Amino acid sequence: MMAARPLALTNVRLLDPASGYDGPGAVIVTEGVIADVVRAGDPGALGPDVEVVDGGGKLLIPGLVDLRVKTGEPGDEPKETLKSASLAAAAGGVTSIVVQPDTKPVVDDPSVADFILRRARDIELVHVYPAGAATKGCDGQRMAEIGLMREAGCVYVSDADRPIVDSKVFQRVLAYAKQFGVLVAHRPVDPWLTAGGAATSGEFASRMGLPGQPAIAERIGLERDLALVELTGARLLVDQVTTAGALETLRRGRGRGLPVTASTSINHLSFNEIDIGDYRTFCKLDPPLRGEDDRNALIEAVASGLVQIVVSAHAPAPAEDKRRPYDEAAPGAIGLQTLLPALLTLHHEGRAPLIDLVRTVTSAPADLLGLPAGRIAKGAPADLVLLDPNAPILVDADKLISKSKNSPFDGRRLQGKVLRTLVDGRTVYQA
C-alpha cells in the first residue's frame, strides 16, 4: 500500500484504551505510521508539505479490529465480496477484519488463505486477515493443517458457525494448536439440543410457534470446551457467548486461570428475543437472540471485562435467503457499518465507560492476535477513526454499503457518525 503525504490531525479528543489516555491532543502521521502523539498540547510548527486536519474537538480513536466477518468471496460473491466488505468496514471505522473460513472453498489450505491476502492487497482498503479452518471442510471430522495455515497468514483457526461435536477431534485441534501457539475460536453449543431450533426456547418462542433452542445448550458446550482447555493448555476464544448461564461458566474458568478469552456480538448487546416482533427475519441470528435478562448480563460482563471483545458478527445474506418463513430463513446479519454507533449506545445509556467500550473493539482484539493495530502510539500503524460520538444516525439498510442488506438495525436511531477513517495513514473513507 502506498503511503499518503504527511498528515496532522489536530484539535481532537484522543481516546486510546491501550494507554488509558482520554483527553485533548493531536496526532502526526508520516509514511503510514504515527510519527508523534501530542497530548494536551500544541503540535507546534508543521512543514508546508503536511496536510492539517482540524478535528474540531471530535473524538479520535484507533481503527476498529473486527474478529468475526463473513464474506462471500471466494465462492459466493453475490452475498458479499472482499471489496464490498472492505468498503463497508472503512465506512464503519473498522480498519482490520478477520474473515471466516467457511467460504467456497473452505480456508483449510494455505492456497486459499494466500488468495484472500492477495485480493486484500489488490483492493488496498482495510487490513484483511484470514481465519483458517480447524477441521478439513469445517466438517468437524479431520483436523486441518493448522501449522501450514499459520505460516500462510491465518491469525486463528475456527470452524466458524459449526461446533466441533467430536470431543476427541476437538482435543486434538487444541493440542496441535498449542504446539504452534495458535489461537482456537469455537462456538459453545450442544448441537443436539439446538437442532431445528429458530429462537431461544421459552414463553416467547412458544407464543410465536417457533421451534426452540434452549439457552442451556450454550452452557453445556462451554463446560466441555473449558474442560478440554484445562486438559490441553491451549488458548481458546469463546466465539460469541450470549447467555447468563454460560457467563457463569466462563467466570469460573477464568477464575481458575484458564487461557480463555470471550467475545460477544453487538447484536446480542443491542437486541433481545422480543425484537423478532412480527417474525422479522433480519433478527434471526445464530446464536438466536436471547431474553432481556441475558442481554443485561452480557452488558454487565462487557463492562466488568469478563467479556473482553465485541464483534460485528457480520454475516451477509441476500433477500431471497431472508424473505422466507422465520424458521426457514437464513440466520445472520450484516454489521460492519453499525458496530461502532451501536456500541456507543451503551455509553450514551450509561451502561459502561466509553474507554472500556472502545477497548473491546481496538486494543483487546489486536492484543489477542498479536497485531500492531488498536492503539494510538508513536510507531504504531496510522489506523485511526475520527468521529462525532453524539451525531444522530437513522439506519437505512438500503443505504448500507454491503451487497446484502440484512441489518436488524434497519430503522433504528443511533448516535455516532464516522467522519474519517485512515488505514496506514491513507484516508479510505470520508463522510
CATH code assigned at 417:
2.30.40.10
Q: Spell out, as residue ranges, where the chain has pLDDT lower than 70.
A: 1-4
pLDDT of residue 4: 65
Alpha helices per DSSP H over 133-285? 146-152, 167-180, 191-194, 203-208, 216-232, 244-255, 266-270
pLDDT of residue 220: 98
Q: Check whether residue 48 and residue 172 sit in a common domain.
A: no
Q: Check whether residue 352 and residue 419 sit in a common domain.
A: no
Count of positions (residues) in the chain = 431
15: in domain: yes
pLDDT of residue 231: 98
Q: Check whether residue 239 and residue 361 sit in a common domain.
A: yes
406: in domain: no
What range defines the domain where residue 11 resides?
7-60+382-391+412-430
Q: What total number of domains does the chain contain?
A: 2
Q: Check whether residue 225 and residue 339 sit in a common domain.
A: yes
pLDDT of residue 61: 98
Q: Check whether residue 312 and residue 180 sit in a common domain.
A: yes
Task: Assign residue 217 the CATH number of its domain.
Answer: 3.20.20.140
Phi-psi region of 134 (alpha: psi -120 to 50; beta: other; left: phi over 0): alpha
Q: Check whether residue 134 and residue 175 sit in a common domain.
A: yes
pLDDT of residue 270: 98
Q: Check whether residue 37 and residue 144 sit in a common domain.
A: no
418: in domain: yes
396: in domain: no
24: in domain: yes
Q: Check whether residue 52 and residue 28 sit in a common domain.
A: yes
- Expressed in percent and rounded to 5, the helix, strand and coil fractions of the chain are 35, 25, 40
Give the C-alpha separation, 227 to 363, whole Å: 28
77: in domain: yes
pLDDT of residue 48: 79
Q: Check whether residue 54 and residue 73 sit in a common domain.
A: no
> What is the identity of the amino acid at 197?
G
Q: Check whether residue 20 and residue 97 sit in a common domain.
A: no
Q: Check whether residue 210 and residue 86 sit in a common domain.
A: yes
Q: Check whether residue 22 and residue 149 sit in a common domain.
A: no
